[in-house]
Structure 1
Amino acid sequence: MLKQLLLMIKIVTVNSKKELASFIDFPHDLYDGDPNYVPELFIAQRDLLTKHPFHKHNTVQPFLAYDGDKVVGRIAAILNNAHNTYNKVNDGFFGFFDCINDPAVSALLFETATNWLKQKGVTGKLLGPVNFSTNEPCGLLVKGFDSAPFLMDTYNAPYYEQLVEAAGLTKDIDLIAWHWDGQAYDDKSVRLLKSLEERLKRNNIVIRKINLKNFKEEAAKLREVYNSAWDSNTGFVPLTDEEFDYLAKDLKLILDPDFALVAEQDGKIVAFGLALPNYNEIFQKIKRGRLLPTGIFKLLFGKKSITSIRIYALGVIDGYRKMGIEACLYGTIIREYKAKGFKHAEAGWTLENNDMVNRAIEAIKGDPYKTYRLYQRAI
């Protein structure tokens, strides 16, 4: 069957600007009419695939599958050298996977990505989906198809799970996204916020907003916290200075200062919490992710209409956990969420085996409403 398909389906190695545009645009056609699909901004995807600092030390090769002159699938093979060095492995990744509901096409895409990685000397596992690592959007949606994704979450049709598993990939680990509807949360951390802050002050720890006027220096300190607080997570690889600055620059454009918080002890940042307005509510209305001619106005003037937030990151460095810092950060975010009249919130993702964090979210009535799965297969 696969040999017959090879005669009909053509795999194209993406190299030209035109091919890259087809690679970015394919999901728009695949999900045409899907009410929960959110198009990625074209300019952001183009820069991610061509200009991101990740490319300075790693290699990404996108591929397209054609049936005649029609695109029927895409995948990117990713050689993350930093991940392999940090974790002492020799693995490869796949990402940007989208495909029609045809297991033969998806099998060919996975075979293409695997062969490319083999040629690069990879001998371990094929892991994914990640775009480019777990520091970026990742995971295959396997639960929670009845609502649109929040900002920087992935999205796919339910049949993807069967396509991936038919290609011989098996579960590595699940990632959980948590949801709150309206005021359906436990506000204990808000009610105890003042006493928690007083207790932290006795240890010279204060909760404050990120200083946007001195953002470059703040970002450098936050990078140290990020690389320390998440270093034990599955698939983690520290961000380089350039990679973190690239991420921070993008986040600065959309963050709300009231939701950008740090915990500081004697000038040292020991934790931070960041919630972001859910710009996917706007992106969903921007046709094919193009800012011109009208998308830019929807982006510029739509912020006030956003009704939800995503708690994007909350991390505490080792030695400062279980002191009440997490509760203070959550309490402050919940207080601002309520004051601003938001209607929905998402936190995530969290690893399914991170019992301490998951119990804390359950305690404030978080609903584990979406599950994203990372897969693996021997190369």
Structure 2
Amino acid sequence: MITIVPVETKKQRAAFIDFPHDLYANDPNYVPELFLGQEDLLNPNKHPFYKHSSAQPFLAYKDGELVGRVAAIYNTNHNAFNKVNEGQFGFFDCINDQEVADKLLQTAEEWVKAKGANNIVGPINLTTNDTCGLLVEGFERPPMAMMPYNFPYYLDLISHAGFAKKVDLRAYLVNKAGANQRSVLLLDKLEARLERSGIKLRQINLKDFKSEAEKIKKVYNKAWDKNLGFVPMTDEEFYYVAKDLKMIVDPKYCIVAEKDNEVIGFALGIPNINEILINIKRGRLLPTGIFKLLFGKKNIRSIRVLMLGVLDNYRKLGIEACLYGRIIKNAMPSGILEAECSWMLDHNYLMNHAIEQINADLYKRYRLYEKAI
């Protein structure tokens, strides 16, 4: 017998967060999310998302045993900005049992339909600014920081539940040995050409973080406005994310492009802390996880470029290539061996071409699914 239970208590929320640790216990590529971070993300009293939208997590039990989870999400700001009326599902994890998956996803569908949605999209773990997409190619190695991971059988569970592909998201890998050195060698010339147009590149100033974040927020909310599922962050949401990122940001990998003292583009790379988190049992920082996190950062050998955007009027000037080139140039003497650039929409030809020009390999693919309800 399968029972679906809404998460309403702190104990149930902990069970919801911990379920993947048991499901993936024997998978060497699984990286546990930090418990505290997930708890904040799912707590309506802590995360700014819930000031404008809503979500309801559910647990699935089969014969009394916990066998799956999902969250139904209704993002009011997303619907208003994109002029749609859809819900999302996220945090989907399940044993390889189609009946369990069907009941979980049907529950999410019914919940968002009751809110007025006529379509459901996912997996999206709250918003597209959080982890989203189902891994469909590239199961051979662990995910990079803030990227999802799942078993291959999830593809069948979701497609057999009536969902169809909406769009694929790409992740590219650049390694030190195979990177196009020419792009780095030409960087000075490319930047000199930009400077003749009054465009300069510089590292972010962490000592003036609040002001820098405000400048970047304006670009972020404009440069991504045509991306699938994008919705501008509220001020509270942006600073919530920025505060967390500040703890791991290295200025060498956060580059802004300016013209007339106005930020017109930026790229953000972060150390791949998953190299550490993969060894933190069940995502708990206490009693020993905190030390692994603090002392392990110096040994990280990969980074993830998770944001790169340029305002419309300044695209096709080569700014994107310069931003990538500057990060790669800064990474080379720092012991970094590889960088992931993710994620890009399948049809974002301009950005995909810029990345492929530096000999990046398309090594992982993620998928968003949808279903009319």
Q: Which residue is 2:150 aligned to?
A: 156
1:266 CA drift (Å):
1.3
Q: Does 1:82 align with 2:77?
A: yes
Query: SS where residue 197 of structure 1 aligns?
Result: helix
Q: Which residue is 1:263 aligned to?
A: 257
Which residue identity does 1:100 align to in structure 2? I
Alpha-carbon distance between aligned partners in 2 of 1:53 and 1:187, rounded to the nearest angstrom: 43
Which residue identity does 1:87 align to in structure 2? N
Identify which of 2, 10, 28 aligns with 1:17.
Answer: 10
Q: Which residue is 2:58 aligned to?
A: 63
Identify which of 35, 39, 49 aligns with 2:32.
Answer: 39
Identify which of 120, 123, 126 aligns with 1:129.
Answer: 123
Which residue identity does 2:272 align to in structure 1? N
Cα contact 1:208–1:261 (8 A) shared by 2: yes
Which residue identity does 2:21 align to in structure 1? H
1:187 CA drift (Å):
2.1
Q: Does 1:181 align with 2:172?
A: no
Alpha-carbon distance between aligned partners in 2 of 1:259 and 1:344, rounded to the nearest angstrom: 13
**Greater mean deviation of Cα atoms: 181-190 or 302-311:** 181-190
1:295 CA drift (Å):
0.3
Percent identity over paired residues: 58
Which residue identity does 2:104 align to in structure 1? L
Which residue identity does 2:161 align to in structure 1? A
Correspondence 1:199-218 to 2 at 5 A? 199-218=193-212
Alpha-carbon distance between aligned partners in 2 of 1:104 and 1:116, rounded to the nearest angstrom: 18
Query: SS where residue 319 of structure 1 aligns?
Result: helix
Q: Does 1:145 align with 2:149?
A: no
Gaps of 5+ in 2: none
Which residue identity does 1:267 align to in structure 2? N
Alpha-carbon distance between aligned partners in 1 of 2:100 and 2:363, rounded to the nearest angstrom: 30
Aligned residue pairs, count: 371
Moved over 3 A (4+): none
Alpha-carbon distance between aligned partners in 1 of 2:189 and 2:357, rounded to the nearest angstrom: 19
Cα contact 2:320–2:354 (8 A) shared by 1: no
Query: SS where residue 275 of structure 1 aligns?
Result: strand
Q: Which residue is 2:41 aligned to?
A: 48
Q: Which residue is 2:369 aligned to?
A: 375
Cα contact 1:183–1:338 (8 A) shared by 2: no
Q: Does 1:117 align with 2:117?
A: no
Alpha-carbon distance between aligned partners in 2 of 1:205 and 1:251, rounded to the nearest angstrom: 26
Gaps of 5+ in 1: 1-7
Q: Which residue is 1:219 aligned to?
A: 213
1:181 CA drift (Å):
2.9
Q: Which residue is 2:329 aligned to?
A: 335
Alpha-carbon distance between aligned partners in 2 of 1:367 and 1:145, rounded to the nearest angstrom: 15
Which residue identity does 2:20 align to in structure 1? P
Alpha-carbon distance between aligned partners in 1 of 2:39 and 2:321, rounded to the nearest angstrom: 38
Question: Cα deviations across residues 308-343 of structure 1 (Å, max 9, x unaligned)?
Answer: 011111110011111121121111111111111212
Alpha-carbon distance between aligned partners in 2 of 1:13 and 1:83, rounded to the nearest angstrom: 24
Query: SS where residue 48 of structure 1 aligns?
Result: helix
Cα contact 1:125–1:378 (8 A) shared by 2: yes
Which residue identity does 1:131 align to in structure 2? N
Q: Which residue is 1:277 aligned to?
A: 271
Question: Cα deviations across residues 117-153 of structure 1 (Å, max 9, x unaligned)?
Answer: 122222x211010011211110000000000000000
Q: Which residue is 1:3 aligned to?
A: none
Question: Cα deviations across residues 137-174 of structure 1 (Å, max 9, x unaligned)?
Answer: 10000000000000000000000000000100000000
Q: Which residue is 2:97 aligned to?
A: 102
Which residue identity does 2:244 align to in structure 1? D
> Do the aligned partners of residues 182 and 196 (structure 1) sit closer, same or farther apart at CA in structure 2, a change above 3 Å counting?
closer
Identify which of 235, 238, 251 aligns with 1:241.
Answer: 235
Question: Cα deviations across residues 16-39 of structure 1 (Å, max 9, x unaligned)?
Answer: 000000000000000001000000
Cα contact 1:189–1:330 (8 A) shared by 2: no
Which residue identity does 1:144 align to in structure 2? G
Identify which of 41, 60, 68 aligns with 1:73.
Answer: 68
Alpha-carbon distance between aligned partners in 1 of 2:119 and 2:35, rounded to the nearest angstrom: 31
Which residue identity does 1:338 align to in structure 2? M
Query: SS where residue 24 of structure 1 aligns?
Result: helix
Alpha-carbon distance between aligned partners in 1 of 2:316 and 2:183, rounded to the nearest angstrom: 14
